[in-house]
Structure 1
Amino acid sequence: MTYRIGGNLAGSTRPAGFTVVTLAYVLAGLAAWAVVAALDSHGLLLTLYADLAATFVVFAASMLVANASLYDPYWSVAPAVIVIAWVSSTPPLTGRQVAVLALVLIWSIRLTTNWALSWRGLSHEDWRYVQLRDQRRPGVPWWLINLVGIQLMPTLVVFAGLLAVWPATTVTGRPWNVLDIAAVVVTAGAILLETTADRQLHRFAGDPANRGAIIDRGLWRHSRHPNYLGEITFWWGMWLFGLAAAPDWWWTIIGPVTMVLLFTFVSVPMMDRRSLIRRPAYAEHMRRVPALLPRPSGFRSGG
C-alpha cells in the first residue's frame, strides 16, 4: 500500500492544516493537564509524565492524518508551556525567573514562527521523515519509527535540556549573580545567532539566481550549520541559569551535552548527506567549512 502524506486530507488547504495542528495541540495540552491533575508526584517527574502524555496525543494525531510533521512545532512549543507552568508555581517572580521566561518565550515564538512559515500544509512532510520511512528495514512498522525516532526521542532530549531550567525557575534562594549575567549573554547571543542564520538562509534560498548553489556567505561562510550552533548554544545558556540558581544541580549538564550529541551525530550528518546528493560541489564545501564551530583563522581570513 502506497503511503500518501496527509492521507484523506492531503488536498486540504494550508489553513485547514494549521487548524488540525492546533486541535491536536489543544488535545495534547488537555492530556497533559489530566495527568497533572490525576497524579501526585515530584514536580519534575510530573512534568515528564505530562510531557509524554502530550507527545502520545500528537503522535496519534500524526498517524491519523498521515503526517509526522505535526510533531515539528512541539520542540519549541512544549518548553514554553512547561517553563510558564514552573514559573507560575513559585510566586512572586524573581529576576532570574523573568529572564529565563522572557528568553524562552522569545526563542519559542521565533522558532515556532519559522516552522509555520515553512510548513505548506498536511501534504508537506519534513524530508527527513520521508527518508526514514522510505529507507526503513523490511518488517519495521512506520508507526514505531514515527513514535520512537521522530517524537519520543526529541521529547526526551528537550526534557533533558529543561532539567537545568527546573532549578532556574523553582529555586529562589540564591540572588542574581555573575553566572546569571553570563547566561543572559549566552542565551540571547544564541537566539540572535540562530535568527540571523535563518534569515540569511531564507534570503539566499529565495533568490532564483542561487538555485542549486551552496550558501557560503554571512554566518554560513564560517559554519555549515550556524542555525544548529545557535540551537545548541541556547541550551548551554539554560544550563548556566540552572547553575546560577543551584550549583549542586551541575549534573544537568547532561542536557546541553545531549543536544551536542544529537546535532553532531544525527542532524548534521543527515543534512550533509542530503546536500552531497543534491550538490556535488558540497564535498569541497565540507572540506573548507567546519560543521559547527568556526575556525578562528576563518574569521581572520574570511572577513
Structure 2
Amino acid sequence: MVIDRAGRRAGFAVVVLAYGLAGLAAWGAAVAVGGAPPLVVTLVADLAATVVVFLASVVVANASLYDPYWSVAPPVIVVAWVVWQGGLTGRQVALLVVVFAWAVRLTANWAVSWRGLAHEDWRYVRLRDQRPSWLPFWVVSLTGIQLMPTLVVFAGLLPVWPAVTVTGRPWGLLDAAAVLVGLGAVVIEGVADRQMRRFTRDPANHGRVNDRGLWRCSRHPNYLGEITFWWAMWLFALAAAPNWWWTVAGPAVMVLLFVFVSVPLMDRRSLERRPGYAGYMRRVPPLLPFPVRPGA
C-alpha cells in the first residue's frame, strides 16, 4: 500500500484545526448555558463540538473526520468534571490514568490507520452509496455517523460523573478492580489491533481469516476490550457512590451498540471478502471467548 505522506499531513492539519474550533464552540456553548446542571452543560457543549466537526466533515467531504472524536472527547470531559469538582483524590487520579491510557492508545491507533482526507471509512462509503436517493447524505452523517456516537459515548461517561464528584467514600477493592479491568481492557484492545495490523500487512494473508492470537478466541477482541473499558468506568462509579448504580445504563448501551450494530456489520463485511469466514464464525464466538469448537 502506497502512503501519501503529504496527504496525511494535510489531513491531520485539517483535523487539528477542526477540533480546535470544536473546542471553542464547546466552551462557548458551556458559557451560554452555564446556569444549567453540570451534566446538561457538558452535554450541550459536547453536541456543539460535534456539530462543528460535522460541518468540517461536510466541507472536506469526508465523514471520517469525526472518527477520533470517540476517543478525544472523553478525556476532555472527564478533566472538566474533575476541575469542576475541585481538588484531586486518589480515585480521580486512578480514573484519569485509565481514561488517558485508553484515549491515547485508541487515538494513536486511528492515526496510524487513517491515510488522510482521501481515506473514508468503508462503512460511511457504503452508507453514502446505499442510502435512498431522496435522503441527503449530510442527514445520514449528522444523525447516524456523528450525533448518535456522541450520545452513546456520553451515556458511557455517565458513571464517571459520580466517580469524580462523589468523594466521601475511601479507596477500596472496587477501585482496584476498576483500575485492573480498565487497564486490562486497554491491553486487550492494543494487542488485538497490533495482531490484526500485522496480519493484514502481510500480502500472503490477502483474503484469509485472522484466527491467530486473541482472534483465535474471539472474532472481535478489540470490541471486547472496548466494552470492558466502559464497564471499568461503572466500577469506579460503584466504588464512589453505590446509589448511582443506575449508571449501569452507560456500559449497557455500549454492549447494545457493539452486539447489535458493530459486530453484525463487521461480520457481514468479512463474509463478503473472506471465503473462510463462515467457518470461522461457526468455530469462534463474537465477543466473549469460549473454547474454540473444532471443525466447521
TM-score band, normalised by the shorter chain?
over 0.9
TM-score by length of 1: 0.93
Q: Name 1:4's counterpart in structure 2.
A: none
Q: Return the alpha-carbon distance in structure 2 between the equivalents of residues 84 and 69 of structure 1.
A: 25
CA offsets, 1:239-278, max 9 Å, x none? 1101111111111111101000100111111111111111
- Whether 2:23 is the aligned partner of 1:32: answer no
**Alignment counterpart, residue 133 of structure 1, candidates 128, 137, 154:** 128
Q: Percent identity?
A: 68
Q: Which amino acid aligns with 2:26?
A: A
Does the 8 Å CA contact 2:181/2:232 hold for their aligned counterparts?
A: yes
How far is the alpha carbon of 1:14 from its aligned partner? 1.2
**Alignment counterpart, residue 7 of structure 2, candidates 4, 13, 25:** 13
Does the 8 Å CA contact 2:219/2:287 hold for their aligned counterparts?
A: yes
Q: Which amino acid aligns with 1:109?
A: V
Does the 8 Å CA contact 2:207/2:275 hold for their aligned counterparts?
A: no
Question: Which piece of structure 1 moves more, 200-209 or 262-271?
Answer: 200-209
Q: Return the alpha-carbon distance in structure 2 between the equivalents of residues 279 and 208 of structure 1.
A: 14
| Superposition CA RMSD, Å | 1.6
**Alignment counterpart, residue 36 of structure 2, candidates 18, 37, 41:** 41
Does the 8 Å CA contact 1:168/1:244 hold for their aligned counterparts?
A: yes
Q: Return the alpha-carbon distance in structure 2 between the equivalents of residues 185 and 122 of structure 1.
A: 37
In structure 2, the residue corresponding to 1:290 is in which secondary structure? coil
How far is the alpha carbon of 1:11 from its aligned partner? 11
In structure 2, stretches of 5+ residues that fail to align are none
How far is the alpha carbon of 1:200 from its aligned partner? 0.7
Q: Name 1:72's counterpart in structure 2.
A: 67
Q: Return the alpha-carbon distance in structure 1 between the equivalents of residues 223 and 259 of structure 2.
A: 9
The runs of at least 4 consecutive aligned structure 1 residues that moved more than 3 Å come to: none
Q: Which amino acid aligns with 1:149?
A: G
Q: Return the alpha-carbon distance in structure 1 between the equivalents of residues 85 and 7 of structure 2.
A: 43
- Whether 2:263 is the aligned partner of 1:289: answer no
In structure 2, the residue corresponding to 1:93 is in which secondary structure? coil
How far is the alpha carbon of 1:12 from its aligned partner? 6.7
How far is the alpha carbon of 1:89 from its aligned partner? 1.9
CA offsets, 1:9-60, max 9 Å, x none? x997210111001000000000000111121111111000000000000000
Q: Name 1:124's counterpart in structure 2.
A: 119
Q: Name 2:149's counterpart in structure 1.
A: 154
**Alignment counterpart, residue 274 of structure 1, candidates 263, 269, 272:** 269
In structure 2, the residue corresponding to 1:175 is in which secondary structure? coil
Q: Return the alpha-carbon distance in structure 2 between the equivalents of residues 298 and 236 of structure 1.
A: 25
Q: Return the alpha-carbon distance in structure 2 between the equivalents of residues 256 and 170 of structure 1.
A: 19
TM-score by length of 2: 0.95
Q: Name 1:265's counterpart in structure 2.
A: 260
Q: Return the alpha-carbon distance in structure 1 between the equivalents of residues 44 and 242 of structure 2.
A: 26
In structure 1, stretches of 5+ residues that fail to align are 1-9
CA offsets, 1:95-141, max 9 Å, x none? 10001111101100100000001100001000000011111122111
Does the 8 Å CA contact 2:66/2:146 hold for their aligned counterparts?
A: yes
Q: Which amino acid aligns with 1:103?
A: V
**Alignment counterpart, residue 230 of structure 1, candidates 214, 225, 244:** 225
